[in-house]
């Protein structure tokens, strides 16, 4: 507020009334503006729920073309993980850091040469380093084989090949909730030959040259956390919904698998490689799919294929290609704002290492120069709340234990084509406990590492991928 104004004694009563009204309106407008630039959060709502409460309605969710998305560690997952096996938030963030380093390694110019797999590759671990971690957060249920076997798979835009564990497990299979798929029990299963073009394509999809066992193509993929899947490359009937079935879908039938996949049966690859699900189903869906990640692990979202019923309110920006990472969905972020004010970050800083959007990375990674500006602006507007100790990679945390409600500044990302994407309140914060609530952003090691737009900041948005037109769309309030 400005300095106090002394009223002239000659003002009439009517003029005085008008003057007072103007001051009141000015104050109201100031409060309204401040309110519009912040999220008010009930602290009790930050505590995790043990009850699955999916939204009553879901715009765009059509069971004819959509799969339900659930958080693999939440009460909606029904994977019934033992409490001792559910990772802590510190462990989740550590795995996330490993994934990010894997992505950076894959994109590094000095990446080592592809390792050729041995003839008995079905029983050997590929030594290629630099693939992404396979332990993403969100799962969907798909059908495989004839008769259909329902399998819960992690979906990942940063991976290309789809795979599931298969009987017999020649070396090992990790524990999964669904029965392990048995190729011998399916009338539509067939192996892919070593001489086929599909087998040759594995090199770009997995980062490993394929192997060969008795003329059958052998795939192998290792993730940055040492998780891996090795087995026969095959064709099978894929059932996405009761109305969407694809014959001869190429997938990995893993007979030697180890990893931290949280009880899921494997992975659904949504990347840009020609072996990914969007590419294999391009004739029907034109490489268009969308998803909405729920606001919390106790709620649900969706993964939808095709553009039927796509909302006109979706705002589109352009997709680009990252050199050395053609399977990733490249994006261009040109600005950021905190509390309604754009930050003094040049577009060249945000573009220095390129940028991607990734459903499997938890925390958005910014160039350290940009993160420093974001952190400073956020801390300035949160300086009336007591800070808490850092949580792993998250260094801006607060103790809300003595508050019933808190106000946090809104954050938006700005993309090419004049697209502003406001981040949901639950996408700004990462909650370990009420006494340790952190800003859900982190900085890369240097400004030339690729910027990664992670899944925490994508919560409640409908994110639309149009691979044919090379466009990426956003719609707020996408899950409910």
Question: Going from the N-terminus, what domains does the chain have, and what CATH number goes with each?
Answer: 63-80+89-106+136-305 (2.40.70.10), 310-475 (2.40.70.10)
Least confident range from 83-97, 220-234, 272-286: namely 83-97
- Identify whether the C-beta of residue 82 lies closer than 8 Å to the C-beta of residue 73: no
pLDDT band, very low/low/confident/very high, at 440 (cuts 50, 70, 90): very high
Q: Please provide the size of the chain in residues.
A: 480
The whole-number average pLDDT for the span 196-212 is 93
Predicted pLDDT of residue 35: 59
User: In the structure, what pLDDT confidence band is assigned to residue 339 with cuts at 50, 70 and 90?
Assistant: very high
Across 163-167, 307-311, 371-375, 393-397, least confident range: 307-311
- State percent of the chain over pLDDT 90: 66
Q: Which residues are catalytic?
A: 156, 358
Give the model confidence (pLDDT) of 228-249 as tens digits: 999 999 999 999 998 899 999 9
What SS3 string covers the chain?
CCCCCCCCCCCCHHHHHHHHHHHHHHHHHHHHHHHHCEEEEEHHHHCCCCCCCCCCCCCCCCCCCEEEEEECCCCCCCCCCCHHHCCCHHHHHHHHHHHHHHHHHHHCCCCCCCCECCCCHHHCCCCCCCCCCCCCCEEEEEEECCCCEEEEEEEECCCCCCEEEECCCCCCCCCCCCCCECHHHCCCCEECECCCHHHHCHHHHHCCECEEECCEEEEEEECCCCCEEEEEEEEEEEEEECCEEEEEEEEEEEEEEECCCCCCCEEEECCCCCCCHHHHCHHHHCCEEEEEECCCCCCCEEEEECCCCCCCCCEEEECEEECCEEEEEECCEEEEEECCEECCCCHHHHHCCCEEECCCCCCEEECHHHHHHHHHHHHHHCCCCCEECCECCECCEECCCCCCEEEEECEEEEECCCEEEECCHHHHEEEEECCEEEECEEECCCCCCCEEECCHHHECCEEEEECCCCEEEEECCCCC
Over residues 336-343, the mean pLDDT reads: 97
pTM of the model: 0.87
Task: Supply the pLDDT for residue 73.
Answer: 84
With bands split at pLDDT 50, 70 and 90, how would you rate the model's confidence at 85? low
Give how far Cα 345 sits from Cα of 322, 348, 356, 396, Å. 22, 8, 18, 19
Residue 9 has pLDDT above 70, yes or no: no
Under the banding of pLDDT at 50, 70 and 90, the label for residue 61 is low
Q: In whole angstroms, what is the distance from residue 70 CA to residue 168 CA?
A: 29
20-24, 285-289, 322-326: which range is least confident on average?
20-24
What average pLDDT score do residues 402-431 get?
A: 96
Q: Give the per-residue pLDDT at 55.
A: 76
Per-chain mean pLDDT for the chain: 86
Question: How many angstroms separate the CA atoms of 231 and 216, rounded?
Answer: 10
What per-residue confidence (pLDDT) applies to 314?
95
């Amino acid at each position: 507020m400005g300095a106090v104004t002394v009223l002239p004694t000659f003002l009439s009563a009517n003029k005085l009334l008008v003057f007072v009204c103007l001051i009141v309106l000015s104050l109201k407008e100031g409060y309204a503006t401040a309110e519009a630039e912040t999220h008010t959060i009930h602290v009790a709502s930050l505590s995790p729920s043990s009850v699955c409460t999916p939204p009553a309605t879901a715009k765009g969710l059509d069971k004819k073309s959509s799969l339900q998305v659930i958080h693999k560690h939440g009460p909606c997952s029904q994977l019934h993980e033992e409490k001792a096996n559910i990772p802590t938030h510190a462990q989740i963030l550590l795995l996330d850091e490993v994934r990010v380093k894997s992505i950076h390694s894959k994109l590094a110019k000095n990446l080592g040469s592809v390792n050729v797999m041995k003839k008995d590759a079905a029983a050997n671990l590929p030594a290629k380093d630099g693939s992404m971690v396979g332990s993403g957060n969100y799962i969907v249920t798909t059908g495989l084989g004839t008769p259909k076997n329902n399998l819960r798979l992690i979906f990942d835009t940063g991976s290309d090949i789809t795979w599931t564990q298969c009987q017999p497990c020649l070396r090992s299979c990790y524990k999964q909730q669904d029965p392990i798929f048995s190729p011998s029990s399916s009338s539509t299963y067939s192996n892919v030959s070593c001489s086929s073009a599909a087998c040759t394509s594995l090199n770009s999809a997995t980062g490993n040259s394929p192997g060969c066992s008795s003329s059958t193509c052998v795939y192998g993929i290792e993730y940055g956390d040492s998780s891996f899947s090795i087995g026969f490359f095959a064709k099978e009937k894929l059932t996405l919904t009761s109305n969407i079935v694809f014959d001869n879908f190429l997938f990995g039938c893993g007979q030697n698998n180890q990893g931290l996949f949280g009880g899921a049966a494997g992975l659904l690859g949504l990347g840009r490689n020609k072996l990914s699900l969007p590419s294999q189903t391009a004739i029907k869906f034109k490489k268009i799919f969308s998803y909405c990640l729920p606001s919390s692990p106790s709620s649900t979202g969706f993964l939808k294929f095709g553009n039927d019923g796509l909302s006109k309110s979706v705002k589109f920006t352009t997709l680009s290609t990252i050199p050395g990472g053609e399977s990733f969905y490249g994006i261009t972020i040109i600005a950021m704002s905190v509390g309604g004010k754009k930050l003094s970050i040049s577009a060249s800083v945000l573009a220095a290492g390129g940028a991607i959007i990734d459903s499997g990375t938890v925390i958005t990674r910014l160039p350290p120069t940009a993160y420093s500006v974001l952190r400073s602006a956020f801390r300035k507007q949160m300086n009336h709340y007591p800070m808490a100790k850092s949580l792993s990679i998250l260094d801006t945390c607060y103790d809300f234990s003595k508050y019933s409600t808190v106000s946090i500044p809104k954050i938006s990302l700005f993309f090419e084509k004049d697209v502003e994407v406001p981040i949901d309140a639950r996408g700004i914060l990462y909650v370990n406990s009420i006494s340790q609530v952190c800003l859900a952003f982190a900085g890369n090691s240097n400004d030339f590492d690729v910027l990664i737009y992670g899944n925490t900041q994508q919560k409640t948005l409908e994110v639309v991928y149009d691979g044919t037109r090379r466009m990426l769309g956003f719609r707020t309030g996408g899950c409910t």
